[in-house]
């Protein structure tokens, strides 16, 4: 009896593998071209109900666009990432989601979103949003191994380098007698419109920052505040000045503009 040849095709993320024989004693590996790679990636995303959408400036929506400066990784199902043009405002960003989570970044017309790292691996129900016209120099949003939490950043916010929003503690603190946890987060982090988050700032779980706040350099914010137009600073952070506002101009340029405007009046 003649032997029947056995052929099989399989895939890795980057290669197509052709095997001959039941024991795969002949195995050929072909590198997929760019078009095939994208096709297989989109197919995998759709099978797991993971959606990437780009809202264009004319209002049209493009699904699964080519992204050069944003790395998006899904390790589970039912995730949504919504971005808005122009994509040129993004630089060296990375988003990692596990299950049932979302990231929404609105239009950034004037400023850049750079070195934004969103980590929600081994998590479910994490919902993150960044408002319009924000600037980010370097921000880590840490939501690994957590569930059902939000992180909201309002419009016109300015976030400096080496900053962190930690939606939960990495480990459990519990009562000695009852054994019940004492540090379980209840909601996440909310930052209002027009906030300036200075360098080296860390904002911890369940904190709400009101609109038009300044968080001083190196501060660790452990509780929520309600009053707008304040400077919040220190470890732990507290209100150190009230009735303030801020401008993106440095103080010398701002003062020159102010004097020029007064002369024109």
* Residue listed under structure tokens 């503690």: 169
> Which one, of 57, 112, 55, lies nearest residue 89 by Cα?
112
15 counts as catalytic = no
Residues 15, 84, 111, 168: which is the catalytic one? 168
The two three-digit tokens of residue 93, written as one number: 């960003």
The whole-angstrom separation of Cα 229 and Cα 148 is 30
Helix (H) or strand (E) holding 39: helix 34-47
CA distance 64 to 138: 25
Dihedrals phi, psi of 163, to nearest 5 degrees: -110, 155
Nearest to 102 by CA among 125, 123, 72: 125
Look at residue 150 and give its three-state secondary structure. strand
Residues assigned a catalytic role: 168
């Amino acid at each position: 009896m003649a032997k029947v040849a056995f052929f099989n095709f399989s895939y890795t993320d980057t290669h197509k593998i052709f095997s001959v024989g039941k024991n795969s004693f002949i195995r050929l590996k072909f590198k997929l071209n760019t078009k095939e790679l994208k096709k297989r990636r989109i197919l995998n995303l759709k099978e797991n109900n993971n959606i990437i959408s780009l809202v264009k400036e004319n209002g049209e929506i493009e699904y699964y666009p080519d992204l050069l400066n944003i790395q998006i990784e899904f390790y589970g199902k039912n995730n949504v990432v919504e971005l808005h043009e122009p994509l040129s405002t993004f630089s060296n960003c990375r988003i990692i989601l596990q299950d049932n989570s979302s990231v929404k970044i609105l239009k950034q017309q004037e400023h850049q979103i750079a070195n934004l790292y969103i980590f929600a691996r081994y998590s479910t129900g994490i919902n993150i949003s960044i408002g319009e016209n924000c600037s980010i120099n370097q921000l880590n949003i840490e939501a690994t191994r957590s569930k059902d939490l939000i992180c909201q950043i309002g419009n016109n916010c300015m976030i400096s380098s080496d900053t962190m929003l930690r939606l939960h503690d990495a480990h459990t603190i519990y009562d000695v007698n009852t054994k019940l946890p004492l540090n379980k987060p209840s909601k996440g982090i909310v930052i209002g419109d027009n906030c300036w988050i200075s360098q080296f700032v860390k904002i911890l779980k369940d904190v709400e920052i009101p609109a038009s706040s300044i968080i001083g350099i190196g501060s660790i914010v452990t509780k929520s505040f309600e009053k707008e137009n304040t400077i919040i600073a220190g470890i732990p952070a507290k209100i150190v000045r009230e009735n303030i506002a801020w401008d993106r101009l440095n103080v010398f340029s701002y003062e020159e503009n102010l004097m020029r405007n007064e002369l024109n009046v």
